[in-house]
Amino acid sequence: MRTYLKVKDYSVSKEEFQLRCDDKEEVLQTFPVPLNLETYYESDDYISHTDANSSLLDIIYQTVKKINLASKLKLISSFAEEGKSLLDVGAGTGDFVFTAKQNGWNVSGIEPNPKARALAKEKGIDLVTALDRLPQASFDVITLWHVLEHLPELENDIDNLRKLLKPNGTLVIAVPNFKSWDAKYYKQFWAAYDVPRHLWHFSKQGIKSLFSPFQLKIEKIKPMWFDAFYVSILSEKYKTGRKKFFKGIWYGFRSNLSYLSTKECSSHIYILKKTK
C-alpha cells in the first residue's frame, strides 16, 4: 500500500490522516483508524446525526435532504412495489425510513448513534443498532445512503447485507466518488474525504470489484447532482478558511458539467442485484 494523499480532519480534530491504496487506485483506505473513532462523530458540525437548521450550510443540507427524500423514494419504487420490505442502514435521524413508511413500505432501520436514534424515536421510528439483530433473507430492498464509507469491517458487512436480502433483492448504495472533477480540483481539501469518519473512498471500478465476489451485480449507476454543490461549498471553506458560497456553487456546476464527458459525478448511486 502507498500513500495517495494526506488529508486533514477539518470538522472535528484537525488531525492529519493518510489515504492509502494499491497500484490499481480503485479504493482508498484511511490510515490510521483511531481506536476511539466514535468520538470523531461527537460534533455539532456532524449534520447527519442532527436536524440542525441554524447556519446557511445547515439550511442547504436540510433543503436538499427533503428534495432527495422524494427522489430516493421514487427510485426504490421503480424496482420494488409498495408494501415490500425495506431496510435503511445508517438511517441517521430516520427521515427516509419515516417517508417510506408513510408511503406503504414495511420498514426497518439501523443506526448505531444514540443521539440520532433518539431523534428518530421522536418521529415514531424505532431503529436497531446492528445488522446481526435482523433475520436473514427478509428484505426486498436495502439502502445505504452515504454509509458504506463508514463501515469498519467492510467485506464482512457486505456479506451480511447479501444474507439479509431476499433472492433477487436489490441493494442501493450512495457513495462519494474520488475520481470526480471536484475531488481532483480540491485534492486534500475535498470535503467528501471527511477523514477519519470515512474509512473508505471509492471509484466506480472499486465498487464493482468489491461487490462482485459477493454475487452482487451492478445494474445501474446514477449521478447525484446536488452533492457536487454541497461538497464544493464545504471544500471552499476548508481550502480558504472562509465561506465562499457562490464560488462553491460555481465549482459544483463545473463538476457536474464534466460528468457529460467523464461520467464521473461527485457522488453516485449504485443499484445492485443479488444474483444467487
- Give 215-229 pLDDT, tens digit per residue: 999 999 999 999 999
- Tell me, what CATH number does 82's domain have? 3.40.50.150
pLDDT at 84: 92
Number of domains in the chain: 1
Q: Is residue 21 part of a domain?
A: no
The verdict on residue 166 lying in a domain is yes
Q: Is position 37 within any domain?
A: no
Which element (helix H / strand E) includes 246? Answer: helix 245-262
Judge whether 103 lies within some domain: yes
Count of helices and strands (H, E) across the chain? 8, 10
Q: Per-residue confidence at 186, pLDDT binned at 50, 70, 90?
A: very high
Q: Is residue 64 over pLDDT 80?
A: no
The residue segments making up the domain with residue 237 are 49-186+221-274
Whether residue 234 is contained in a domain is answered as yes
The predicted-structure confidence for 108-147, as pLDDT tens digits, reads as follows 999 998 989 999 999 999 999 988 889 999 999 999 999 9
| Residues near 228 by beta carbon (within 8 Å), at least 6 away in sequence | 180, 182, 251, 252, 253, 255, 256, 265, 266, 267
Q: Does residue 114 belong to any structural domain of this protein?
A: yes
Asked if residue 227 is part of any domain, the answer here is yes
DSSP string, 87-150: EEES-TTSHHHHHHHHTT-EEEEE---HHHHHHHHHTT---BS-GGGS-TT-EEEEEEES-GGG
> What pLDDT is recorded for position 132?
84
Q: What is the pLDDT of residue 133?
A: 82
Arithmetic mean of pLDDT, 179-194: 99
Q: What is the pLDDT of residues 14-53, one digit of tens each?
A: 999 999 999 999 999 999 999 999 999 887 655 554 555 5
Task: Establish if 54 belongs to a structural domain.
Answer: yes
Across the chain, mean pLDDT equals 92
Cell of residue 119, nine digits: 431523534
